[in-house]
Amino acid sequence: MPELPEVQTIVDDLNKTILNKKIKRVEIRLPKIAKCDDRDFCTVLKNISFQKISRWGKYIIVQLSREGEYLVVHLRMTGQIIYIDKKKVIAGGHSTEEESLDLPNKQTHLIIYFQDNSKLFYNDQRQFGFWQIVNSKELKQVRDKLGLNPLYAEFNLLSFKKLLKKRKGNIKAFLLNQKYIAGLGNIYTDESLFRAHILPFRKINNLTSKEIKKLYQAIKDILNLSVKHRGTTFNNYVDAGGRKGKFIKFLKVYKKEGQKCSRCGKEKIKKIKVAGRGTRYCPYCQK
């Protein structure tokens, strides 16, 4: 599933390529993907442009040229956004094979055609993602359901400690809950806990002040490093500069089960279920 770094990379790429391009038409190949209350999705987008693209957690927020209207996109488990013009292919989201870039294909559910003949494709193998047109009030409702953005100034050590105060569940379940911290998923939660030397099933109320500080810094460091290297889950794709996602080279526990821990060399990485998710950790390094 695309997480914060993958979504941020998509946002950065699209801001460099599709802003102010007038939309010629929109083709919806799977109706449930596109949502727009009381109006036709295609009609709303026709002849307008994208003015600014941002991220809130794992949501992509597109400010439209029509005042007070926005396009909200969530990739869910297997969503992919692929931009194609005569000179380049830029894509991000769930990883897939190179041959799937022969578009459109059976996984293509929405296509935006721009007047300069470039195209934006939305692919989604499991069809859980969505594109929704909302107004300012509805956008606020989306944001109000989400927690702190871990790469924004609002996420600091004090705010992190306040979130953890008086909570008794395990730390991994807490970190995965989008109403507390928006954007963390399975990959970066496991990697952050490993970096902080904390077991994923540790109870929150048993964490020391020192451990909380280490975890806070680990989250920021892991996410910043992943954004720098264009994330993990779409390493087959390239950006406008021809760069591939390379954070997969920095993973320490994710999909490393059965391998010796690269940090201590004394134990093998284990995989168990925590908070309903496959969870990797080192039983020696993490306490």
- Residue 34: is its pLDDT beyond 50? yes
Quick one: 186 and 229 in the same domain? yes
Residue tagged active-site, from 16, 220, 246, 277 = 277
Quick one: 122 and 32 in the same domain? yes
Active site (annotated) includes residue 6: no
Residue 220: inside a domain: yes
- Residue 33: is its pLDDT beyond 70? yes
The CATH number for 181's domain is 1.10.8.50
Quick one: 205 and 94 in the same domain? no
What is the domain extent for residue 185? 157-281
Instruction: Grade residue 143 by pLDDT with cuts at 50, 70 and 90.
Output: very high
- Domain total for the chain? 2
Residue 13: inside a domain: yes
CA distances from 99 to 126, 236, 248 (A): 18, 11, 21
Token readout for 188 is 């970066």
Please give the share of the chain, as a percent, with pLDDT higher than 90. Answer: 81
pLDDT score, position 139: 97
Quick one: 124 and 163 in the same domain? no
Domain end point (choices 144, 179, 207)? 144
pLDDT score, position 144: 96
Token readout for 223 is 């996410």
Active site (annotated) includes residue 2: yes
Quick one: 171 and 96 in the same domain? no
pLDDT score, position 121: 96
Residue 287: inside a domain: no
Residue 86: inside a domain: yes
Classify residue 152 by its DSSP letter: S
pLDDT tens column, 170-220: 999 999 999 999 999 999 999 999 999 999 999 999 999 999 999 999 999
pLDDT tens column, 73-110: 999 988 999 999 987 888 888 765 554 568 999 999 99
Quick one: 164 and 124 in the same domain? no
Quick one: 65 and 174 in the same domain? no
Active site (annotated) includes residue 104: no
The CATH number for 57's domain is 3.20.190.10
Quick one: 181 and 133 in the same domain? no
Alpha carbons 190 and 252: distance in angstroms, whole number: 9
Quick one: 140 and 161 in the same domain? no
CA distances from 263 to 161, 253, 266, 269 (A): 27, 10, 9, 11
CA distances from 127 to 32, 74, 142, 276 (A): 9, 11, 20, 21
Quick one: 222 and 273 in the same domain? yes
Alpha carbons 12 and 7: distance in angstroms, whole number: 9
Residue 150: inside a domain: no
Query: What pTM was estimated for this model as a whole?
Result: 0.91
Alpha carbons 30 and 131: distance in angstroms, whole number: 11
| Rounded (10°) angle between helices 157-164 and 209-228 | 120
Active site (annotated) includes residue 277: yes
Which helix or strand (DSSP H or E) is residue 54 part of? strand 50-56
Alpha carbons 148 and 143: distance in angstroms, whole number: 10
Residue tagged active-site, from 5, 6, 58, 195 = 58
With a CB cutoff of 8 Å and minimum separation 6, the contacts of 252 are 191, 194, 195, 261, 262, 263
- Per-residue pLDDT averaged across 16-44, rounded? 94
Quick one: 265 and 203 in the same domain? yes
**How far apart, in Å, do the first and last CA atoms of the chain sit?**
27
Quick one: 211 and 120 in the same domain? no
Residue 136: inside a domain: yes
Token readout for 2 is 């695309």
Domain end point (choices 144, 179, 210)? 144
Domain end point (choices 111, 144, 177)? 144
Residue 224: inside a domain: yes
Residue 221: inside a domain: yes
- Residue 281: is its pLDDT beyond 70? yes
Residue tagged active-site, from 2, 5, 150, 200 = 2
- Per-residue pLDDT averaged across 277-287, rounded? 97
